[in-house]
Amino acid sequence: MKRYKKRILSALFAGALVCSLTACGSGESSSENTDSGSGEEGSDVQVGVVISDMSDAFFAHLVEELQAYSDEIGVTLTVTECPEISDKVTGIENFVQAGCDAIICHVTDADALQDAALSAEDAGVHFISYDSDIEGTSGFIGVDNHEYGYEIGTNAANWINENFDESEEVKVGVCNYPDYPFLVTREEGILDALEELAPNAEVVVSAKAGYTPEGVDVGDTWVQSNPDLNVVVGINDAGVLGVYESFNAAGIQRDDLGMFGGDAVDDALTALQEGGTFKGTVSTEMLPNAHSFIDMAVELAENGTVEERELYFPMKSVTVDNIDEFVASQEE
């Protein structure tokens, strides 16, 4: 079932729910499935997706890719937006009751969702975790979040070492997201990279900014309280892009200021190509390999198990040095 073809990602409407919750196996679907002409390996498979927040550009793009591939091979895919843990538990329970073969869930807190995930497994529904693994479930797809953070921090550290003498103090602001354990782990990776690779970097301020509006608010504050920051680094692109927007609006676009995130969303790639203070991101290569989620769900539905329970996506740093090459590769 490795028939995935790379697609040029189109811009999605921010904040919109792409697919509403529809009962798996009810004969209804969030979109009309089409015949792939390739044996219909997944034609009888019903998959439910529990995603955290469709206002996030990365999640929106991921859902678009999951839906397109599901349509291509004839899988019935239903997506529900569940920002809070309680929403996720309800979403999982609804998919179980509706008779889905598999559930793909963005797990923001493994401990909090463990009971719901294992109950799904007990009911015969295969549970695939994304971002945080839950022991005892059928599969996990994602990244090593400490390693991911370390890659983000490495981009920042490399830029620091290229632009500052080791005797100079480099003032750093960190966009974090302490609500989710996996993002705490990612922040730890960022800080470890800075400490090990750029010991002259000093974190002077940090704030919760995982979404662009939060980043704008944080940026507005830092423009007033810490306009002399040299580095802004965050657990994703979205929050950092908000800070980037605020600093640009305030006219702060110095040569000794660099901003770094992760996810390689379209706005981050555009900012990199503009050649301003946004200097780097990290791609998990998840979007061009989103088919792997569906492939795993189908394999579990058909065989009851998978050859590889854990699938980690590769990571690729994207900076001003390779941005044009990276964008071109995504359009192939």
Closest CA to 126 of 278, 328, 300, 318: 300
Q: List Cα–Cα distances, 74 to 39, 160, 295, 323, in angstroms.
A: 10, 49, 12, 35
User: For 130-139, b where at least 16 C-beta lie within 10 A, e where not — what string?
Assistant: bbbbbeebbb
The pLDDT profile of the chain, 332 residues, written as one tens digit per residue, is 322 222 222 222 222 233 334 434 433 334 333 333 333 444 589 999 999 988 888 899 899 999 999 999 999 999 999 999 999 999 999 999 999 999 999 999 999 999 999 999 999 999 999 999 999 999 999 999 999 999 999 999 999 999 999 999 999 999 999 999 999 999 999 999 999 999 999 999 999 999 999 999 999 999 999 999 999 999 999 999 999 999 999 999 999 999 999 999 999 999 999 999 999 999 998 888 999 999 999 999 999 999 999 999 989 999 999 999 999 988 76
Task: State which H helix or E strand residue 241 sits in.
Answer: helix 237-249
Domains observed in the chain: 46-143+285-313 (3.40.50.2300), 145-283 (3.40.50.2300)
Q: List Cα–Cα distances, 117 to 69, 106, 131, 183, 322, in angstroms.
A: 25, 11, 14, 20, 40
Q: List Cα–Cα distances, 234 to 12, 212, 230, 281, in angstroms.
A: 23, 11, 14, 10
Q: List Cα–Cα distances, 30 to 14, 24, 47, 111, 185, in angstroms.
A: 18, 10, 11, 30, 34
Instruction: Give residues with Cβ within 8 angstroms of 162, minimum separation 6.
Output: none
Residue 305 to residue 294: CA distance in whole angstroms: 14
